[in-house]
Structure 1
Amino acid sequence: MKEKFFLSVFLSFGFLVIPSVFYAQEETPDINIEESSEVFLEEYSDAFQENFFEALKQKGIENYDKAINLLLQCKQLQPDNIVVDYELAKSYLADKQFIIGQDYAIKAVNAEPGNLWYLNVLVELVQKQGNTIDGIKSQLSFSDQQLKENLALIYYQQKKYEQALKVLSPLNASIFTEELESKINTAMKRVATKSKAIDNNSTAIEKNPLEAYRTELKNLIESDNIEQLFSLSKEALDTYPLQPFFYFANGHALNKMGKNKNAIEVLESGMDYMLDDVALENKFYTELSNAYTAIGDSVKANMYLSKVKPGF
């Protein structure tokens, strides 16, 4: 028996979920990848449907071998089904069988060169092998404008700006290419500015390292840049293990990261090096109170909070 049915892509086992690459914080140019959230599967047999849905289920619970076997059965029933090729490519990617997955992804991309989902999976499979799309150009419909636009977008989202420009520059001008090129150039300038700031900071550390560490850590605390604060405070402690402020900065970062017990250990160690700095002591006590509150020890949390001296 055959029938027509709709498969909602967002409600069934992650089928055709848009890759995370398209959810970057920075807004990207509009792209017409798929208008509908439903895929129309036409006149497939009951056996195909059962295998296909079961494959999605097995892939969803990370049983990739079984998912692949079921999809291969689907492929026998529908040899020209590109969606099955795509799902096989994704399953082989998840199972770390990159070379086999690449073959199926190439089939899917060549069948629909403008499909962003298909190309994204192919790019990931190729990169997992330490290669680039350039190495398989001859196997693709690489003259397709939409394919190249999508590839440039993928590289942009991966922050591979030079590769994105290399793909984008020869293309026929359009609103899409102009907007994406503008975003790439802006991103490259931002990276260059950040690199220059890091170089300047390194120079400052070389000239007056102790004060430079202190200034930079204060800036990171104020900007709530926790990842860099943790890294730099650890570096500062390795270099200057007797400086209490560096213990405070590291403990503050650990608290923000949810590693409260580690924060307590660092902060209480740092208290041993305190010398007549009431303002810094207050910061230690407050941070320790926060850490003990986070682990549910209200007695010690209140004890440290009571030590905070007003007016500093």
Structure 2
Amino acid sequence: MLLLSTSPGLMAQEEESAEVFLEEYTDQFQECFFEALKQKGIGNYDKAINLLLKCGEYTTSQNVLDYELARVYFANRQYVQAQDYALKALKDQPENVWILNTLMDIVQAQGNDLLLFQDRIPWDNVKLRNNLASLYFQKNNYTNARRILETLPKTVFTAQLERKISDSLNKEQQISSSIVKDSPQENPLEVLRMELQQLQDSEKFSLLETRAGEALENYPAQPWVYYYFGLSLHRNGKSSEASGILESALDFLIDNNDLQQKIYKELAAVYTALGNPSKANMYLSKIKSGS
């Protein structure tokens, strides 16, 4: 399937990419489908969704519609619906990297990790796991990329990706050392905080987990170190470990409302990922109340 570009604002290219694929569909379907893309392109997401659902009346094949519905619901921040349609599309086409990337983005937007959904995706498909390892590498999540590589047979692809991961980690460590070296040395805690924040901002969660874990050994009473460590664990698919670390952060927290709200938000996402809605809602209510 020649599915559409995932880059926003490229409606013309999307239509061109779909033309060949849509030749087998009726004129009614094509008119409805391209009008849906047009409405999505100008931000009329509800109208685009209704049109895509209407397209289903003109075809017995749902593949292209599931993917586009996932993308429109995602653009409209309706994550549950987006996730459902993306999962359906991936089951039909497990080797389609565009669908997989969209699903990863949807899951990540909810503070979760796709590795928690192994039972809901075609995990036995080797090509899917190859694609997933590559995407994690591109997103700088080297821990998860390596986890998936461990499940794959040794090939030229896996050897090359492992080498790329090692090279990237070495470069990150060099950058991290430069940050410490060039920062003011009179306040080592502030230097550390700056480093961890920069790693979070650049979404280098694998290195963040390593550095925050080391920092926790040296500064076991600093709540923000627990926060960064817990956040990195969650982003790296270790939600169960993250919950304990983040709750420990609250034990050391004194008069820091901004950090408290960040910890509550992360805990809500962690317990959502762990399938514990009661605790997730408890922390969500604390965010709203500010207590």
Higher alpha-carbon deviation: 168-177 or 125-134: 168-177
Residue 141 of structure 1 aligns to a residue whose secondary structure is coil
Q: Tell me which residue corresponds to 2:87.
A: 106
Give the gaps of 5 or more residues in structure 1: 1-6, 18-35, 208-312
Higher alpha-carbon deviation: 42-51 or 185-194: 42-51
Structure 1 residue 66, shift from structure 2 partner: 0.7
Aligned partner (choices 140, 157, 160) of residue 121 of structure 2: 140
Q: Residue 77 of structure 2 aligns to which amino acid in structure 1?
A: K
Structure 1 residue 76, shift from structure 2 partner: 3.3
Aligned partner (choices 39, 49, 74) of residue 58 of structure 1: 39
Q: Write the distance in 2 (CA, Å) between the matches of 1:76 and 1:168.
A: 42
Aligned partner (choices 176, 187, 190) of residue 171 of structure 2: 190
Residues 136-180 of structure 1: per-residue CA shift (max 9 Å, x gap): 211111111111111111111111111111111221122222111
Residue 14 of structure 2 aligns to a residue whose secondary structure is coil
**Mapped pair 1:13 → 2:12:** yes
Compared CA separation, residues 109 and 46, structure 1 to 2 (3 A): same
Structure 1 residue 56, shift from structure 2 partner: 0.7
Residues 181-228 of structure 1: per-residue CA shift (max 9 Å, x gap): 1111100111111112222233x6329xxxxxxxxxxxxxxxxxxxxx
Structure 1 residue 127, shift from structure 2 partner: 0.6
Aligned partner (choices 121, 134, 137) of residue 153 of structure 1: 134
Residues 268-309 of structure 1: per-residue CA shift (max 9 Å, x gap): xxxxxxxxxxxxxxxxxxxxxxxxxxxxxxxxxxxxxxxxxx
Residue 206 of structure 1 aligns to a residue whose secondary structure is coil
Q: 1:102, 1:122 within 8 Å by CA — same for their partners in 2?
A: yes
Question: How many residues matched?
Answer: 183
Residue 43 of structure 2 aligns to a residue whose secondary structure is coil
Compared CA separation, residues 8 and 177, structure 1 to 2 (3 A): closer
Q: Tell me which residue corresponds to 1:96.
A: 77
Q: Write the distance in 2 (CA, Å) between the matches of 1:51 and 1:96.
A: 23
Q: 1:105, 1:122 within 8 Å by CA — same for their partners in 2?
A: yes
Residue 41 of structure 1 aligns to a residue whose secondary structure is helix
Q: Write the distance in 2 (CA, Å) between the matches of 1:70 and 1:151.
A: 31
Q: 1:8, 1:39 within 8 Å by CA — same for their partners in 2?
A: no
Q: 1:13, 1:60 within 8 Å by CA — same for their partners in 2?
A: no
Q: 1:109, 1:118 within 8 Å by CA — same for their partners in 2?
A: yes
Give the gaps of 5 or more residues in structure 2: 188-291
Q: Write the distance in 1 (CA, Å) between the matches of 2:38 and 2:132.
A: 30
Structure 1 residue 42, shift from structure 2 partner: 4.2
Q: Which has the higher helix share?
A: 2
Structure 1 residue 16, shift from structure 2 partner: 8.2
Q: Tell me which residue corresponds to 1:304.
A: none
Q: 1:106, 1:122 within 8 Å by CA — same for their partners in 2?
A: yes
Q: Write the distance in 2 (CA, Å) between the matches of 1:173 and 1:39.
A: 36
Q: Residue 53 of structure 1 aligns to which amino acid in structure 2?
A: F
Q: Write the distance in 1 (CA, Å) between the matches of 2:150 and 2:33.
A: 41
**Mapped pair 1:206 → 2:186:** yes
Q: 1:152, 1:167 within 8 Å by CA — same for their partners in 2?
A: yes
Q: Residue 46 of structure 2 aligns to which amino acid in structure 1?
A: D
Map 1:65-76; keep pairs closer than 5 Å. Answer: 65-76=46-57
Residue 12 of structure 2 aligns to a residue whose secondary structure is coil
Structure 1 residue 8, shift from structure 2 partner: 9.9
Compared CA separation, residues 170 and 8, structure 1 to 2 (3 A): closer
**Mapped pair 1:129 → 2:128:** no
Structure 1 residue 55, shift from structure 2 partner: 0.4
Map 1:232-311; keep pairs closer than 5 Å. Answer: none
Q: Which has the higher contact order (CA 8 A, sep 6+)?
A: 2
Aligned partner (choices 89, 97, 108) of residue 116 of structure 1: 97
Structure 1 residue 106, shift from structure 2 partner: 0.6
* RMSD of aligned alpha carbons: 2.6
Q: Write the distance in 1 (CA, Å) between the matches of 2:96 and 2:176.
A: 35
Compared CA separation, residues 107 and 71, structure 1 to 2 (3 A): same
Q: Write the distance in 1 (CA, Å) between the matches of 2:94 and 2:64.
A: 13
Higher alpha-carbon deviation: 91-100 or 172-181: 172-181
Q: 2:11, 2:41 within 8 Å by CA — same for their partners in 1?
A: no
Structure 1 residue 54, shift from structure 2 partner: 0.2
Q: 2:45, 2:76 within 8 Å by CA — same for their partners in 1?
A: yes
With normalisation by structure 1, the TM-score equals 0.54
Q: Write the distance in 1 (CA, Å) between the matches of 2:151 and 2:67.
A: 29
Identity %: 45
Q: Tell me which residue corresponds to 1:175.
A: 156
Q: Which has the higher strand share?
A: 1
Q: Residue 74 of structure 1 aligns to which amino acid in structure 2?
A: C
With normalisation by structure 2, the TM-score equals 0.57
Structure 1 residue 9, shift from structure 2 partner: 5.6
Q: Write the distance in 1 (CA, Å) between the matches of 2:144 and 2:20.
A: 33
